[in-house]
Chain A
């Protein structure tokens, strides 16, 4: 292959690296109204009165909206294909506020200072309710977070809102109780994961204006332009045809920008005033008033026989979705979907539990999407089981993990198409020095070093639901335009998709212009989430390129007055296989758009996959712990990845490194704390510590390629799977170092130190 598999630089790399004005804020109209939001100081309250009269008189204030001024149609901000499985439980503004930071009024003024001044002049009187803050006490709490009767679910997701249950879920194959009795050993443990912040560097922002035909144009830093258009149409009660969503460059997303946090507020201001508007969340708003990862409690019970074969996997979960149910049921189901198939020598498996509403900031999509939480709980318990069986944790995995060509209880007879996970484990052992260094080494009197490991799987796109389209146009000059609706969040997906098109068309990647994404221009794509872009949009691009190539050959043959079978196309020239006749692509392109009876060539394809082939990763951590303080230093992290064919090794490597470091943050540093009245306390980078350069030790990355028959050039996904192993692997290493099993994230020195004193779990 000429282009696929090569470490090509990103096509927008130089622009974004050198600070060119390519992001949402840079592109906003100079005279845009500045939109600010007055937010609730209370976790749960009803607005008894709201007085905006003084604020409205302030010079420069253009519009102030309260719950009285907005449509009453409930919607969901979850970036999912219609009909969304997330409940329609939101209004643009509501009389009831459900978390500290919930929106109370929208203020638009000529500048920020005026908007903030006006905000301070709005008088609100609240009737306070008893908030539901502890998610373990949400079910059956005296307060009901969503007592209104117009909440709507497109499917039965098990909502019992009078009990604060958004969704219930159960997967069970085999008889757990019977099979567990047959096991020689049973281990059980409960884990807690935190409501991590995405902490992308570009906070949430959108701008809007009316175009020359009066249509509403939204420029937004979003992963889901088409879903934004649909949500706006519903929330604002205007036809989707009156809305255009443009996605410029995005300053990071990680799933956060799969939920439409901000677009509705500028859009309604532009509709009400006719003027352009911009909203930019500051860091505190981004931390407190958007979405987080779903915090969960996961209890895992494993049963095994004395040979080390795992027979029963039983996971009981509780997930905290906060005040609104974005992605509540789907994130939760992914906990089971990405854990139960991993160990397939089982006779019974179960995943069951509830997602609950609380009066805290909403949770939503976040890289890993439930698999991360599940991997921490399951893999930690596998390590516990290995210890109880006195087995090497890598050996118990090699015995029990699903292999290529095998099935598992929850796959219902479907065979796993591709996996090199066993090789990933072997390679990882080599790179970390497992034989020499496992489990622990004493460095000096106070310091020990130890190793731990974990494995995980994810998916590639959402099987049977998310479907992407792609178009490739042969331009009049012989170059190509690739039109896609997916979102490059910085991952390099635009580049990778261009590589695929270039490979099929046998042209240099420089000959392709990539246009993404603009809902007026791009073909439909659900957006970039669920690790789908390389796999799902990639297949659409491959097939569109094949379609165009076929048309080029046909048109070339027609030009040469022979049949298609008699010519070949090498990316530059269409030539007769036998004979002298040929036509250069530029000439053909020109010919196709000049004169009468012509047709410009466009390749098209739409692709949705019936399967979601899992990428795999094996992660190995080495930590050093100071026994006097509990201080943990991560020395080394080894990640070996099976993402099928690596389309661009350079960009894939950075994806792995970035995901691992985000996982390290979750494992060791990112602590989420709420005050006793429900206010998020960790709302700046001073309190919420994401890893800096000194925190991460050395990260080593290797690939063990497999070939996924259903994927483009054999590729699977990579974006999410990479975040899942650090938490369980580091927890394992910490246990091997000092014998403390930390079961709630993050693994802080305090927990380790206190654990060493008391030898109890945290």
Chain B
């Protein structure tokens, strides 16, 4: 079937199967920042925004995105670069495979929460796994980025 979606502010017609998931569709259409890590909605790697809300694209059927606005890290590169600079300066990206999903969640959190506490930050990001860094460096980077203690 054909769906029409706005991906990173561009209207695109996509051919999708009825049982196809959005993460696979986006990769098929060249959005390679979207990655899958678990198939069970545990790891957060596939996080994109649908209508500005962070969503796990590995379990969202593509046809459900019909007519909606999808944002990936390619669509927010200015904001993503700004945070990535801080993350990299902290040394807190290692293999980088989880970074796009993680950064999309961080940027969404910034839009959603005002002056969050450390506990709120950790809670918001609990669904984003990282096996490399041990999370502490990511937390330092987020706090610097948000300007919170």
B127 — which chain A residues lie within 8 A by C-beta? 692
State which residues 635-694 of A face B: CB under 8 Å: 648, 650-651, 653-654, 657-662, 684-686, 690-694
Within 8 A of B (CB), among A2-22: 7, 9-10, 12-21
Question: Which residue on A lies nearest to B137, using beta carbons?
Answer: A654
A17 touches B87 (CB 8 A): yes
Q: Is the CB of A490 within 8 A of B99?
A: no
Rounded to whole Å, the gap between the CB of B48 and the closest CB of chain A is: 11
Which residues of B (13-28) have their CB < 8 Å from a CB of A?
17
- The verdict on A650 contacting B90 (CB below 8 Å), with A658-B134, A699-B136 known, is yes
**Given A283-B40, A685-B43, A693-B126, A490:B134 Cβ within 8 A:** no
A9 touches B91 (CB 8 A): yes
Interface-lining segment among A247-255, A417-425, A567-575: A247-255
Q: Decide: B39 and A282 in contact? CB cutoff 8 A.
A: yes
Tell whether A650 pairs with B91 under 8 Å between CB atoms, given A658-B134, A661-B134.
yes
State in angstroms the CA–CA spacing of A250 and B130 once bound together.
14
Q: Mark A247-269, 1 if CB is under 8 A from B, else 0.
A: 00111111000000000000000
Residues in chain A near residue B91, CB distance under 8 A: 7, 9-10, 492, 648, 650-651, 653-654
Indicate whether A23 reaches chain B with its CB closer than 8 angstroms: yes
Query: What is the CA–CA distance of A690 and B38 in the complex, to the nearest angstrom?
Result: 12
Query: Which residue of the partner chain, among B34, B80, B129, B133, contacts A692 with CB atoms under 8 Å?
Result: B129
Given contacts A658-B134, A685-B129, contact A16 B38 (CB under 8 A): no
Closest to A252 in B: B95
Q: Check: A26 CB closer than 8 A to any chain B CB.
A: yes
Report A-chain residues with C-beta under 8 Å of the C-beta of B126.
692-694
On chain A, the residues within 8 Å of B85 by CB distance are 14
A661's nearest neighbour on chain B, judged by CB, is B134
B135 touches A696 (CB 8 A): yes
Q: Is A199 an interface residue (CB 8 A)?
A: yes
Q: Is A564 in the interface zone, CB < 8 Å from B?
A: no
The chain B residue with its CB closest to the CB of A692 is B126
Q: Which residues of A contact B131 (CB under 8 A)?
A: 198-201, 252, 254, 658, 662, 690
State the Cβ distance, A10 to closest chain B Cβ, in Å: 6
The chain A residue with its CB closest to the CB of B74 is A19
- Residues of chain A within 8 A (CB-CB) of B125 are 693
Task: Report B-chain residues with C-beta under 8 Å of the C-beta of A650.
Answer: 90-91
A660–B80 alpha-carbon span in the complex (Å): 28
- With beta carbons under 8 angstroms apart, the residue of B38, B95, B100, B139 that contacts A685 is B38
Chain A residues within 8 Å of B43, by CB: 201, 685
Task: Say whether A203 contacts B37, CB under 8 Å.
Answer: yes
In the bound complex, residues from chain B placing their C-beta under 8 Å from that of A654 are 90-92, 94, 132-134, 137
Does B122 belong to the interface (CB within 8 Å)?
Answer: yes
Bound-complex Cα distance A659 to B131 (A): 9
- Flag if A490 contacts B135 (CB, 8 Å): no
Measured CB to CB, the closest approach of chain A to B102, in angstroms, equals 9
Expressed in whole angstroms, the Cα–Cα distance for A229 and B43 within the complex equals: 32
Give the distance in Å from the alpha carbon of A23 to the alpha carbon of B125 in the complex: 24
With contacts A490-B94, A490-B96, A696-B135 taken as known, whether A19 is within 8 angstroms of B37 at the C-beta atoms is: no
**Residue B56, interface by CB 8 Å:** no
> Do A252 and B90 touch (CB < 8 A)?
no
Contact between chains at A201 and B45 (CB < 8 Å): yes
Shortest distance between the CB of B87 and any CB in chain A (Å): 6
Known: A23-B97, A202-B37. A685 touches B42 (CB 8 A): yes
Contact A9 B89 (CB under 8 A): yes
A283–B32 touching, CB < 8 Å: no
Considering the chains assembled together, what is the distance between the CA atoms of A282 and B37 in angstroms?
8
Q: Which residues of B contact A283 (CB under 8 A)?
A: 37-40
A13 touches B133 (CB 8 A): no
Q: How many angstroms from the CA of A696 to the CA of B131 in the assembled complex? A: 12
Q: Which of A7, A16, A25, A658 contacts B99 (CB 8 A)?
A: A16
Docked complex: A67-82 residues within 8 A CB-CB of B: none
- A491 on interface, CB distance cutoff 8 Å: yes
Q: In the complex the two chains form, what is the Cα distance from A176 to B91 in whole Å?
A: 48
Please provide the chain B residues from 133 to 149 with a CB less than 8 Å away from any CB of chain A in the complex: 133-137, 139
Alpha-carbon separation in the docked complex, A21 to B74 (Å): 11
Q: B88 to A657, Cβ gap below 8 A?
A: no
- Decide if A721 is an interface residue (CB 8 Å cutoff): no
**What's the least CB distance linking A428 to chain B, in Å?**
17
- Which residues of B have CB within 8 Å of A690? 129, 131
Judged by a CB distance under 8 angstroms, whether B5 is at the interface is: no
The yes or no answer to A275 lying at the interface (CB within 8 A) is: no
8 Å CB contact of A251 from B97, B122, B128, B129? B97
Does B7 count as interface, using CB distance less than 8 angstroms? Answer: no
* Any B CB within 8 A of the CB of A489: yes
The answer to whether B52 has its CB under 8 Å from any CB of chain A is no
Q: Does A46 contact B (CB under 8 A)?
A: no
Question: What string of 1s and 0s marks CB contacts (under 8 Å) between A198-214 and chain B?
Answer: 11111100000000000
The reply to whether A250 and B95 form a contact with Cβ atoms under 8 Å apart is yes
Residues of A near B87 (CB, < 8 A) are: 13, 17
Interface check B73, CB cutoff 8 A: yes
A284: Cβ under 8 A from any B Cβ:
yes
- Report if A14-B134 is in contact (Cβ < 8 Å); known contacts: A201-B37, A203-B37, A490-B95: no
Closest Cβ of chain A to B109, distance in Å, is 12
Q: Are A684 and B39 in contact (CB under 8 A)?
A: yes
Q: Which B residues are in CB contact (< 8 Å) with A14? A: 81, 84-85, 88
By the criterion CB–CB under 8 Å, are A490 and B129 in contact?
A: no
CB nearest neighbor in A for B87: A17
Closest to B76 in A: A18
Contacts of B132 in A (CB 8 A): 200-201, 252, 490, 654, 658
Beta-carbon contact of B81 and A18 below 8 Å: yes
In the bound assembly, the distance between CA atoms of A284 and B40 in angstroms comes to 10
Are A18's CB and B129's CB within 8 A? no
A693 contacts across to B, CB distance below 8 A: 122, 125-126, 128, 135, 139
Q: Tell me whether A19 and B129 are in contact in the complex, defined as CB-CB below 8 angstroms, given that A201-B97, A657-B137 are known contacts.
A: no
User: A201-B98, A201-B131, A694-B126 in contact; A16/B137 too (CB < 8 A)?
Assistant: no
Residue of B42, B73, B122 touching A19 (CB-CB under 8 A): B73
Chain B positions 42-81 with a Cβ under 8 Å from a chain A Cβ: 42-43, 45, 72-74, 77, 80-81
Q: Which of A7, A251, A659, A685 contacts B96 (CB 8 A)?
A: A251
Q: Which 6 pairs from chain A and chain B are nearest by CB?
A: A16-B96, A19-B33, A490-B95, A251-B97, A661-B134, A19-B100
Interface of A with B (CB < 8 Å)? Answer: 7, 9-10, 12-21, 23, 25-26, 113, 198-203, 249-254, 282-284, 489-492, 648, 650-651, 653-654, 657-662, 684-686, 690-694, 696, 698-699
6 A-B pairs with C-beta separation under 8 A = A18-B103, A201-B45, A201-B95, A252-B131, A657-B136, A658-B131
